[in-house]
Amino acid sequence: MPQNLISATATAVFIVGPLLAILINNLLPRTLAQKICLKVGIAATLLQIAAVCSCVWLFFANSSYHISFSVFWNMSAQPGAARFYVDFLSLTVMLAIGLVSLVSLLTANESIKDKALNFSNLLMICMIGMNGLVMVNDLFSLYIFLEITGIAAFVLIALLREERGLEGAFKYLAMSAIASVFLLASLALIFMETGDLHFANVAALLSSPAQASQPLLLMIASLFFITAFSIKAAMVPFHGWLPDAYQSAPAAVSVLLGGIVTKAAGVYAIIRVLSGAFSGVLAGVFSHVQNVHVVFAILGLVSILYGAIAAIGQRDMKRMLAYSSISQMGYIVLGAATGSVIGLVGAALHFFNHATFKGTLFVNAAALEKQTGSTDLEVLPCGLQARMPLTAISSMLAFFSTAGIPPLAGFWSKFLIILAVWQSGSPLMAGLALLASIITAAYFLRIQRKVFFGQPDDSSNEITEVKGSLALAEWLLSIITVGCGLLFPALLLLMQSKGLF
Amino acid sequence: MQTFFILLCLALMICSAAAVMMFRSLIKATVCLAITSVLISIVLFLLGAYWAALFELSVCAGLITVVFISTISFFSKERRSEEQERDHHSRFRLLPYLMVVCGLALLALLVLSGFSMQSIPALPPAFAEFKQILWSNRQVDILAQIALILAGSFAVIVLFKEINTNDENKGA
Amino acid sequence: MLNILSQLIAGGNNHTNLIYIMLALPAILGLVVILLPVKGYGGRSVAFIGALVINALAALGLLLGENFSMRFPWVHLGDFSIQFSLRVYNFSAFILIAIAAIALLIGIYTVVFMRGKSHYGSFYCFFLLNLALANGAALANNLIVLLFFWAGLLVTLFAMIAIGNRNNVSAAVKALIISAVADLLLILGIAITVWQSGGKMMMDEIMPLPLTGLNNVGFVLMMLGALGKAGAIPFHSWIPDAAKDAPLPFMAMMPGALEKLLGIYLAVRVARDFYALEPGSGMSMFIMIIGVVTIILAVGMAMIQKDMKRLLSFHAISQVGYMVLGIGTALPVGIVGALFHMLNNAIYKSALFLSAGAVERSCGTTDLKQISGLRRVMPITAIGFTIAALSISGVPPFNGFFSKELIFDAALESGLVFYILALLGAFMTAASFLKLGHAAFFGPLKWPHIEESNNPNPRETPAAMYVPLLILAAFCLVFGLGNVIPLAGIQSILGDFMAGHDYSGWPHSMSLVLISLAVLIFAVLNHLFGKLRTGQAVKALDHIHYAPGLHQVYNVAEKGYLDPYEWLMFAIKAYAKLCFAIDRAIDWIYNVLLVKLISVLSKGLAHLNNGHSTRYMAWVFVGMLFVLLALILYL
């Protein structure tokens, strides 16, 4: 019964929920739909958050920490059948999806007026894509949901029909197309090698030495696979599209992109194929392929350093946040690439934390853009702390969390990642990751000092604090950042006591 | 016979892909792209990848390319002058010949290396089996397809409507 | 007050209450004084004098009462504990009564002197706080408690100098730093002493440590700390500077009397109770050298001064030299002489400063070139000054003569050189006071005509100012002729050490007395020679000032080049500059180099993202190449 309940909840809410929202939005009279579409979207995201919570509760109640199920009906599923699979890793990511989508909708409420209906529809599709992405256990389904997410995302970037947005969208699209080609090629080669695309089956086949009959084929498959997901996850040097796309996207969309889309589309897939699941029931495709782990670790580290250093010199806040995202996604990939349980847990937690603090920062950027008309650090007035206290404080909390300053949430996940890297026998990598953390603090302090601290000048007299849903989003994310930081040790202990790692 | 079909489709596919590059007209390019997609799905079907063929045919590659082209056309329209237009055509003049040469070389390579189509399943499966695969093993993908169709339609709404309104604005 | 009187009359055996009064009353009244309404000069002054009177009565009560000590726990940290312990015995009572008496006399003088001056309230307050702390330091029976009060005096010292000239506190800062250095040495010395005596902190429990090994260091450090408070070289240089600005009552109180009392008190305790200083030992020699150097250098500087306050302040230093010399001999006669000299010095030096204050009040200046013949208008002050000056010059039968003779006796016994140098100091002291007295109070009447002055003619000061002066002058005579009174007390303090000795009455060695008198006569002749040579009393010592060789030395000294404080400041500045340079360099690495490097790197990386999709795609292929390489490498 509870198993069915979970599967029913999961399917109904994670996939059918957004579909329903789209239906409601488009079946209602157009004028009414324009008014309530964002609220319908918010309802869907709240439903998703609630569903994640209830799933977690049911997991604990049943002491079974993963479930795999068919979408509509359970018709003689074959061993290699593509089904949905939900575990704590998926739930963590889906919580982040729900949260960031909610925040994105709240931001859109203030910034996107006439395009609200389209925005809401596309966002719902993006949610379906991402939710599907995190629930599948089959490489081909992964590819399809990836495409859905990608299409929705780049149409969102181009939503406001500004040339800049279209240009960003085009770059994203072009690179995505390349990634798709490589991914398809990689899938074909893997299928040729193993005859299957189910995660666990592929992993089992790849791990047995007998299957290594064609190492060249496997290597090319790995190469294409790494390339495809590195483009999606914007690992350096496959990251070119990301700063342009983030910068050119409308405020609400950059919250979504920076908060979750890139991570769900790229980083989550990397985690899944490298590490499988917490409890080890579902092995990742490359769980046993050592050199893929090493390559991802190197890519992660390069991204961490490159992103952090490039962020320092940026003038535009959104662009700086984009580089910071590259750096932070590097941490997540690095954690997953260690292959150890601590690394995986660290990566998953950092995934969630990054969604909250980067979401906060993009919301702050949206707030600054709305109140001052710019996100350019050279143009923004000084000493805004006095005028926009909430924005200043939430941005400081998010910065501290990003830089990994205890006791905020970012500290714990970064700590676990660096610990895992250290334990995996690479003190040099751990040291570099730690160094990048300091650089992170440096560039964030630069923003904070330039924009928020200091004496307010006269030009900022008329600037006021944001109100309404933007303020609500800032409050919500800041509370989660602080709350998670304080509750993380307890959460980790709980998970450990349940034997999850 | 099947091998011949596959090769034919591949050749047509290359031609239509080249045509996509050649045509400046949005509609023509889009149509060619759609033809390419259709041909790809036929090849996939002939090779035995039925569900892949299905998705390729319906939306996947086709839809992406439609959106792709529409985006390009939207903001390249204003920039290209007549001169550039001529440049464009002259630049791609040699493309078809190049592609034919490449295709022939590839074919020769395949023949020389003893490539045979026997490694590919000769016959399409029974319809029942196909149904079985589609409706029980690939349920997830059906769901995904619904989403894809929706995504494509919204993309078209957003992007094409933008272009239309833009054009209207310009006309006015 | 009734309580104190009743206790005094009853002669009770335990005067615990009096201790509380001595510690708390001045402190509380000090705070009350500053909190009283600004206009209430009378009220404040009454409270001020009242506190001093009660303090003096309490001190008298302690002197007459029995010895006792009291303690209660102060700090508890596990096994470690510090007892807040105070002890009244003849030595501390002797110091207390001296402090109390002089504070009372100077206090009465102060009330008149400070009238009409701003900040008199704060001066009263710090004066009283200072008194409380000094009482505490004298009563302390625990080295930590002693240190507590000792360091507290730093604050009041600073504040009282700073009151004189609020716009320029450099003299106050100088005093603070020099005294703080001395206190720091004292802290280190106390630490070593406590360590070497096996953790004993109670001053009456520490057995005299033999002067060997580390004990030498502890002894020197504690001695320097004590002598630094007393103002011996090299801790002297703030006194002349403070003389310029600080209120005169402060000069009379602190460098004139109180600091000498406390410093010499501690020095004697260090040499007698904590360490066993043996006559003729290396340490004895060391202390004696400090003593004679202090005498000669300070009095040498005093000779050439043309300002009354400054001249007196150098004498405040030089007289310490005699006491240090006396202690350094470690002979009974020397230590008795030192303590007696300490008492005498407190009396006549206070008197001298008070007369200087009177001159300043009447004439508006203490510059000897501008004043002359003041005995005609200020006869009483002139009498007080003359007695004190005779006393400090060592003219019989005033008290200075007797204490100096004791020290001469001890110095001769310890080494002829010390004796000769001490005599030289006596000669210069006498010469400089002949000049000072002659120039200021004798000769034709002269005073600076100040247009704005509403008091065109110098007048005798009010009774409240000359009475304390006369009382002090009277004590000079009483302690000279009746030296048996103080000497009996001092000898009882030293107890067994004095067994079989009695130094009261006329000096024992007639030949030494004759030599001293000869020196005095020689000083008079020298003065007359100088006076005849220049025709002016104030220039009577110019032939020494401008003597070949000495002239250059004096020039250098006047410019402050011989001031250890200036050396210290120079060294600190140089060190600070060095540190600053190093700091700049490190800063440069962090703030400029690193930032430049990172920003160049960052800009470079950002330029790679130029917005061209083709370039991004090129990267993808470059990246693929590297990934392939890595895949093969780590296979």
Regarding predicted confidence, which is higher, B76 or C616? C616
Answer yes or no: is pLDDT of B136 > 70: no
Find the CATH number of the domain harbouring B144. 1.20.120
Asked if A90 contacts A11 with a C-beta cutoff of 8 angstroms, the reply is no
Distances (CA, A) of A236 to A34, A220, C77, C631: 40, 20, 59, 17
Smallest CA-to-CA distance from C33 within C125, C152, C126 is with: C125
Q: Which chains touch C (3 or more CB pairs under 8 A)?
A: A
pLDDT one-digit tens code per residue, A385-422: 878 888 888 988 898 888 888 778 888 899 889 999 98
Beta strand C209-210 pairing with C275-276: parallel
Instruction: Kindly state the tokens that stand for C389.
Output: 């000056």
User: What is the three-class DSSP state of A485?
Assistant: helix
Q: Nearest 5 degrees, angle CA C496-CA C499-CA C501?
A: 140
CB contact (8 A) between residue A241 and residue C616: yes
**Mean pLDDT for the stretch of residues B56-77:** 56
What are the start-end ranges of the E strands in C251-323?
Answer: 275-276
When CB atoms are compared, the residue of C606, C626, C634 closest to A310 is C606
A110-129 average pLDDT score: 88
A158 lies within 8 A of chain B by CB: yes
Q: Provide, as residue numbers in chain A, all residues whose Cβ is less than 8 Å from the Cβ of B17.
A: none
| Other beta carbons within 10 Å of B94 | 10
Query: Does any CB of chain B come closer than 8 Å to the CB of residue A179?
Result: no
Is residue C172 within 8 A of residue C162, CB to CB? The reply is yes
**Tokens for A220?**
């090319």
Cβ contact C606–A314 (<8 Å): yes
In a domain, C545, yes or no: yes
* String of DSSP letters for B38-98: HHHHHHHHHHT-HHHHHHHHHTHHHHHHHHHHHHHHHHHTTT--HHHHHHHHHHTTTHHHH
Closest Cα in chain A, distance from residue C583 (Å): 21
Question: Same domain for C377 and C466?
Answer: yes
pLDDT attached to residue A440: 85
Q: How confident is the model at residue A71 (pLDDT cuts 50, 70, 90)?
A: low
Secondary structure class of A382 (helix, strand, coil): coil
For residues C502 and C601, state if they share a domain: no
Whether residues A243 and C599 touch (CB distance < 8 A) is answered with no
ipTM attached to this prediction: 0.84
Q: In which band, very low, low, confident or very high, does the pLDDT at C5 lie, cut at 50, 70 and 90?
A: low
- Tell me which chain C residue has its CA closest to the CA of residue A171: C613
pLDDT for residue A334 = 93
CB contact under 8 A, A78 and B158: no
Threshold 0.90, pTM exceeds: no
> Is residue C215 over pLDDT 90?
no
Burial of residue A379 (number of CB atoms within 10 Å: 0-12, 13-18, 19+): exposed
CB distance from C610 to chain A under 8 Å?
no
Model confidence over C88-132: pLDDT tens digits? 888 888 888 899 998 998 888 888 888 777 777 888 888 888 899
pLDDT at residue B119 in the model:
47
Residues 6+ apart with CB under 8 A from C373: C441, C442, C443, C444, C445, C446
- How many domains does chain C divide into? 2
Q: How many CB atoms lie within 10 A of CB C360?
A: 17
| A437, pLDDT greater than 70 | yes
Q: Which of A445-449, B31-35, C484-488 has the lowest mean pLDDT?
A: B31-35
**Where is average pLDDT lowest: A196-205, B29-38, C420-429?**
B29-38
Please give the angle made by the CA atoms of A395, A398 and A403, to the nearest 5 degrees: 125
Domain residue limits at B133: 2-171
Please tell me if residue A295 touches chain C, with a CB cutoff of 8 Å.
yes
- Look up tokens 């110091």; give the residue: C95
Given a cut of 60, whether residue B165 has pLDDT beyond it is no
Question: DSSP of C507-570, one letter per residue?
Answer: -S-HHHHHHHHHHHHHHHHHHHHHHHHHS-GGGTTHHHHTSTTHHHHHHHHHTTTT-HHHHHHH
What does pLDDT average to over chain C?
82
A158 CB neighbours in chain B (<8 A) are: 71, 158-159, 162
- Distance between alpha carbon C432 and the CA centroid of its chain, in Å? 22
C-alpha span between C486 and C492 (Å, rounded): 10
Nearest CA in chain C to A319: C606
A118 contacts in chain B (CB < 8 Å)? 154, 157-158
The answer to whether residue B93 scores a pLDDT higher than 80 is: no
Q: Which residues of A touch B71 (CB under 8 A)?
A: 158, 166, 169-170, 173
- Identify which of C512, C473, C523 has the alpha carbon closest to the alpha carbon of residue C299: C523
For range C61-73, the mean pLDDT: 79
Tell me the nearest-neighbour CA distance from A82 into chain B, angstroms: 6
Name residue C307's beta-bridge partners: C367
pLDDT of residue C142: 85
Q: Does B149 touch chain A (CB under 8 A)?
A: no
Q: What range defines the domain where residue C623 resides?
A: 586-634
| Kind and range of the H or E run holding A87 | strand A84-87
CB A245: neighbour CB atoms within 10 A? 29
| Residue A54 predicted with pLDDT over 90 | no
The encoded tokens of residue C288 equal: 């004696």
- C605 and C548 fall within a common domain: no
Confidence (pLDDT) at C72: 75
Give me the number of domains chain B comprises: 1
pLDDT of residue A98: 93
The stretch C551-573 carries a mean pLDDT of 76
Considering the domain architecture, whether residues C502 and C606 belong to the same structural domain is answered as no
Cβ distance A310 to C602 less than 8 Å, yes or no, reads yes
A360-383 tens-digit pLDDT: 999 999 888 888 888 888 788 877
Over residues C264-289, the mean pLDDT reads: 87
Spatial CA neighbour of C145 closest among C193, C192, C82: C82
What length does chain B have? 172
Pairing status of strand A84-87 against strand C275-276? unpaired
Task: Give the tens place of pLDDT for each residue, A280-314.
Answer: 556 677 777 788 888 999 999 999 999 888 888 78
Same domain, C423 and C463: yes
At residue A100 the predicted structure's pLDDT band, cuts being 50, 70 and 90, is very high
For residue range A16-52, list pLDDT tens digits in order. Answer: 888 888 888 888 888 888 888 888 999 999 999 998 9
Confidence (pLDDT) at A328: 93
Same domain? For C481 and C551 the reply is yes
A74: nearest CA partner in chain B: B136
Is C213 contained in some domain?
no
Q: What is the pLDDT of residue B68?
A: 59
Residue among A171, A298, A311 minimizing CB distance to C613: A171
Nearest CA in chain C to A215: C635
For residue C27, the model assigns a pLDDT of 83
Q: Among A214-218, A235-239, C131-135, C426-430, where is mean pLDDT lowest?
A: A214-218
Contact at CB, C602 and A231, closer than 8 angstroms: no
Q: Which of B68, B136, B166 sits opposite A77 (nearest CB)?
A: B136
Q: Considering only A93-97, A265-269, A473-477, C69-73, which range has the smallest mean pLDDT?
A: C69-73
pLDDT in tens, B103-115: 677 666 656 655 4
Of the ranges B46-50, C242-246, C376-380, which is most confident? C376-380
Write out chain A residues lying below 8 Å of C631, CB-based: 219, 222-223, 226, 291-292, 295
Query: What confidence category does residue C376 fall into, taking pLDDT thresholds of 50, 70 and 90?
Result: confident
Chains B and C lie in contact, requiring 3 or more CB pairs less than 8 Å apart: no
